[in-house]
């Protein structure tokens, strides 16, 4: 790999910085880079034009297809400001000896925390009750208290975690702190477990768990594995949580399970299409909480992404790129 430290100045183009910096997280200076051209958002057409003379392109969700990469004659390095890198055609980049680096570990704590917030939201519907008080229902209540939804205690319930990587293990620790029994399904047995946790089959996990939380990567094999059959194997009182990838779930099947009260509720931060189509069945399903893919988005996490991206670029400039995915 060539050392670019003495080939400056190199040009850097950021195609979609708004997700990381809506105004509170400016891109830090990169040693050896004089200036950065940063755009809040870019369409595919705009990206080709804006990155035409760029040596380094930084993207979060703006696609870099094979055709796009072919249109960028100066391109030498691609930095993805996320863990997922499916927005880049890795083979096309590899064919031109262009390294692609991602940020593999920035959101463990924040995604795990958000996962627990979704579980607690289904257990207590805090906002529903707060809004009812604001609307005057407590003022006019004949009783000293009331609840509009069942209140669920997590103590002694079973938390089933699908995928036992960094985030899955952190969710397990948080669930255990609430007094939950933890079971997990994973293709490999984890050697680093800080709490009592039992590895079980995927079938047993769905059958036994009171809360099923998805934390696995999306693969060809598991796309849509949460389907009608698997949902019907769950307890009628169970919750499904998804902060991983929307394509893991057959959304029409989940919507039907919620309508038919096959399970008690679901909370998802990811959908198969983002932003969703107005026809997405989960938008109209009962007892379904949907958040706009924000589990990763705390300021602390976004700052870590930028810091790691600067480190990725610095390593590339020195001739020893890190976190390369192609």
> What average pLDDT does this structure show over 255-277?
97
Is 193 within 8 Å of 171 (Cβ atoms)?
A: no
Q: Give the C-alpha separation, 112 to 274, whole Å.
A: 21
Token code pair at residue 59: 């993207």
**DSSP per residue over 174-188, as a string?**
HHHHTT-EEEEE-SS
Specify the pLDDT at position 208: 98
Specify the pLDDT at position 2: 59
Question: What residues are annotated to the active site?
Answer: 245, 274, 293
Question: What does the domain layout of the chain look like in residue ranges?
Answer: 12-106+299-317, 108-290
Torsion sign across C-alpha atoms 170, 307, 50, 92: negative
pLDDT in tens, 200-253: 999 999 999 999 999 999 999 999 999 999 999 999 999 999 999 999 999 999
Rounded to two decimals, the pTM is 0.92
Q: What CATH number should be reported for the domain whose range is 108-290?
A: 3.40.50.720
Domains 12-106+299-317 and 108-290 share a fold: yes
Nearest residue to 171 via CA among 107, 106, 111, 240: 111
Cis peptide leading into residue 41 (ω within 30°): no
> What's the CATH fold of domain 12-106+299-317?
Rossmann fold (3.40.50)
> What average pLDDT does this structure show over 55-70?
96
pLDDT in tens, 7-26: 667 899 999 999 899 999 99
Token code pair at residue 26: 């400016």
Residue 320, judged by CB atoms within 10 A of its CB (0-12, 13-18, 19+), counts as exposed
C-alpha Rg value of the chain to the nearest Å: 23
């Amino acid at each position: 790999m060539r050392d670019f430290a003495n080939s400056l100045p190199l040009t850097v183009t950021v195609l979609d910085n708004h997700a990381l910096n809506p105004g509170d997280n400016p891109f830090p200076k990169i040693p050896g880079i004089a200036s950065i051209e940063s755009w809040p958002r870019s369409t595919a057409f705009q990206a080709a034009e804006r990155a035409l003379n760029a040596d380094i392109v930084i993207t979060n969700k703006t696609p870099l297809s094979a055709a796009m990469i072919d249109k960028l004659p100066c391109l030498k390095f691609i930095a993805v400001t996320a863990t997922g890198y499916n927005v880049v055609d890795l083979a096309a980049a590899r064919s031109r000896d262009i390294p692609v680096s991602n940020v593999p570990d920035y959101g463990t704590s924040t995604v795990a925390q958000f996962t627990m917030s979704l579980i607690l939201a289904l257990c207590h519907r805090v906002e529903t009750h707060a809004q009812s008080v604001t609307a005057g229902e407590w003022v006019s209540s004949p009783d000293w208290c009331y609840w509009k939804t069942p209140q669920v205690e997590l103590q002694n319930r079973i938390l089933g975690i699908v995928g036992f990587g960094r985030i899955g293990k952190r969710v397990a620790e948080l669930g255990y702190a609430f007094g939950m029994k933890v079971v997990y399904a994973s293709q490999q047995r984890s050697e680093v477990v800080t709490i009592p946790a039992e590895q079980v089959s995927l079938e047993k996990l769905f059958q036994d768990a009171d809360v099923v939380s998805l934390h696995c990567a999306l693969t060809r094999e598991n796309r849509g594995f949460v389907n009608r059959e698997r949902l019907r194997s769950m307890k009628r009182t169970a919750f499904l949580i998804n902060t991983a990838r929307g394509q893991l779930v057959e959304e029409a099947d989940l919507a039907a399970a919620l309508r038919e009260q096959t399970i008690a509720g679901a909370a998802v931060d990811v959908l198969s299409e983002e932003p969703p189509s107005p026809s997405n069945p989960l938008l109209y399903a009962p007892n379904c909480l949907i958040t706009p893919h924000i589990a990763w988005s705390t300021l602390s996490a976004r700052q870590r992404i930028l810091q790691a991206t600067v480190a990725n670029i610095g390593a590339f400039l020195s001739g020893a790129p890190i976190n390369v995915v192609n």
